[in-house]
């Protein structure tokens, strides 16, 4: 195992290195293509005993798999169990065509493996046009960079300017968004029924109305024990729908263990967001305005999954997850679509239907925008902010 650099890089030198890398526009994939055997110092994370990429942790637990071909009552029961315990599950035998899954994953892989000079024209930290390719949206804010490249696209409420979406991805992105909306609406209905509320409740709260796609490419890392693919975090919105190729790396925290989420061909990964652990009390709708930067766009990416955590009055769980740096020659590719509420200024809080004398509201009301401002005032490397909004917290 390699050892981290014992001499920290001074902030001024680190900033210079970050800018030099960012302005090269080659991404992490470009570094790998150059044949480097030692990762740049700004990618090195603090020592983590659970980061060993070969001997993985968490074998005594497994991520639930829900078979959509089972009777509806069984599916509701299984989703409710998974959502109240681990906050993650995979679905199989759903109606999403396998070809559509393969096309979106394949198109993202194809884009990332284009020559640098082709990809460079899409490299940007400006999301005003609804699409951008970059390495780490929080590159300048995090303590250490992570070993991945990302193509982000706004899918709703407004579409991106298509000339800024790589041509090799456009058709697959349009197709995938249609499939994701259908499965997202079905899942939200099942989640509502599991809570004992009307199956259209989340749709009424505009939870299908704002969507961001984040397509991650994790190339081979020569020193995977020194860095991460994605730091531990919870998703702060409603629901995250993810597909991935066969390369492992995604882990979910359960108790003190990091549990491997083993890829299943054709399966779709679902995870609960913080706000679903709370639900909006006021159903008046406001349109979600356009985000104006890659940083702001990413706020809405991670905003979706926390929503279920909150609106369910703590019944559904939003849990930490991470991605290990990739030790394999084959790249890991994942495509996540984040469902976020289309309302930003109205108050959110536990659904009134879920509050009683026996179970009072666990969270106080807040606006979505206030939550997101607080979420991104810290790095994406720890526990969610749901505890900040708990009634017992007098901050």
Dig out the tokens for 265 from the structure: 């061909």
43 inside domain: yes
Measured between alpha carbons, how far is 277 from 350 in angstroms, rounded to an integer? 8
Q: How confident is the model at residue 297 (pLDDT cuts 50, 70, 90)?
A: very low
242 inside domain: yes
From the CA atom positions of the chain, what is the Rg in Å? 20
Name the residue with higher pLDDT: 58 or 189: 189
257 inside domain: yes
DSSP labels, 221-282:
-S-GGG-EEEEEE---SSEEEEEE-S---EEEEETTEEEE----TT-EEEEE-SSBBT-BS-
Q: What are phi and psi of 26, to 5 degrees?
A: -95, -15
How does pLDDT run across 236-250, given as a tens digit for each residue? Answer: 668 999 999 999 999
Measured between alpha carbons, how far is 33 from 345 in angstroms, rounded to an integer? 45
Find all residues with CB under 8 Å of 269, minimum gap 6, and list them.
88, 89, 90, 240, 241, 242, 243, 244, 250, 261
pLDDT for 288: 30
Left if phi > 0, otherwise alpha if psi is -120 to 50, otherwise beta: which for 96? beta
Element of type H or E holding 178: helix 167-195
Find all residues with CB under 8 Å of 389, minimum gap 6, and list them.
278, 310, 363, 364, 366, 371
How many other C-beta atoms can be found within 10 angstroms of the C-beta atom of residue 95? 9
5 inside domain: no
89 inside domain: yes
Q: What percent of the chain has pLDDT over 70?
A: 81
How does pLDDT run across 137-187, given as a tens digit for each residue? Answer: 889 989 999 999 999 999 999 999 999 999 999 999 999 999 999 999 999
Q: What are phi and psi of 310, to 5 degrees?
A: -85, -45
Between β-strands 210-218 and 149-156, what pairing exists: parallel, antiparallel or unpaired? Answer: antiparallel
Task: Give the bridge partners for 361, in sequence order.
Answer: none
**Domain limits at 238?**
11-389
4 inside domain: no
For residue 270, pLDDT beyond 90: yes
pLDDT for 271: 93
pTM exceeds 0.85, yes or no? yes
Domain count, the chain: 1
> CA of 26: how far to CAs of 5, 19, 95, 119, 237, in Å?
24, 12, 38, 8, 31
The predicted model gives 29-47 an average pLDDT of 96
Name the residue with higher pLDDT: 79 or 287: 79
pLDDT for 9: 52
Q: For position 282, which CATH number holds? A: 2.60.120.330
1 inside domain: no
6 inside domain: no
For residue 287, pLDDT beyond 50: no
How does pLDDT run across 209-233, given as a tens digit for each residue? Answer: 999 999 999 999 999 999 999 999 8
Q: How confident is the model at residue 367 (pLDDT cuts 50, 70, 90)?
A: confident
């Amino acid at each position: 195992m390699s050892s981290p650099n014992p001499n920290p890089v001074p902030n001024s030198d680190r900033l210079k290195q970050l800018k030099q890398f960012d302005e090269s526009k080659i991404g992490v994939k470009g570094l790998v293509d150059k044949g480097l055997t030692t990762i740049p110092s700004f990618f090195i994370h603090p020592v983590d005993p659970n980061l060993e990429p070969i001997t993985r942790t968490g074998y005594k637990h497994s991520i639930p798999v829900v078979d959509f071909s089972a009777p509806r009552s069984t599916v509701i029961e299984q989703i409710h169990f998974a959502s109240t315990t681990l906050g993650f599950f995979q679905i199989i035998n759903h109606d999403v065509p396998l070809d559509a899954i393969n096309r979106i994953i394949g198109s993202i892989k194809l884009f990332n493996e284009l020559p640098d000079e082709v990809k460079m024209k899409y490299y940007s930290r400006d999301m005003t046009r609804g699409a951008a390719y970059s390495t780490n949206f929080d590159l300048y804010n995090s303590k250490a960079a992570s070993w991945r490249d990302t193509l982000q696209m706004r899918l709703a409420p407004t579409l991106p300017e298509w000339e800024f979406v790589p041509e090799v991805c456009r058709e697959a992105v349009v197709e995938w968004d249609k499939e994701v909306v259908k499965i997202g609406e079905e899942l939200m209905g099942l989640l509502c029924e599991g809570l004992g509320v009307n199956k259209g409740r989340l749709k009424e709260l505009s939870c299908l109305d704002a969507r961001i796609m984040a397509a991650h490419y994790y190339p081979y890392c020569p020193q995977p024990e020194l860095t991460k693919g994605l730091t531990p975090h919870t998703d702060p919105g409603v629901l995250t729908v993810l597909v991935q190729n066969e390369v492992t790396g995604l882990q979910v925290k359960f108790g003190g263990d990091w549990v491997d989420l083993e890829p299943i061909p054709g399966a779709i990964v679902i995870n609960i967001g913080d706000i679903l652990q709370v639900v909006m009390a006021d159903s008046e709708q406001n349109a979600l305005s356009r985000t104006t930067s890659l940083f702001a766009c990413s706020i809405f990416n991670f905003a979706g999954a926390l929503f279920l955590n909150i609106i369910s009055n703590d019944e559904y769980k939003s849990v930490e997850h991470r991605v290990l740096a990739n030790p394999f020659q084959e790249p890991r590719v994942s495509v996540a679509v984040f469902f976020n509420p289309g309302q930003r200024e109205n108050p959110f809080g536990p659904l009134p239907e879920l509050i009683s004398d026996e179970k009072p509201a666990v969270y106080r009301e807040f606006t979505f925008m206030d939550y997101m401002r607080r979420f991104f005032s810290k790095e994406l490397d720890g526990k969610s902010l749901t505890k900040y909004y708990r009634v017992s917290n007098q901050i």
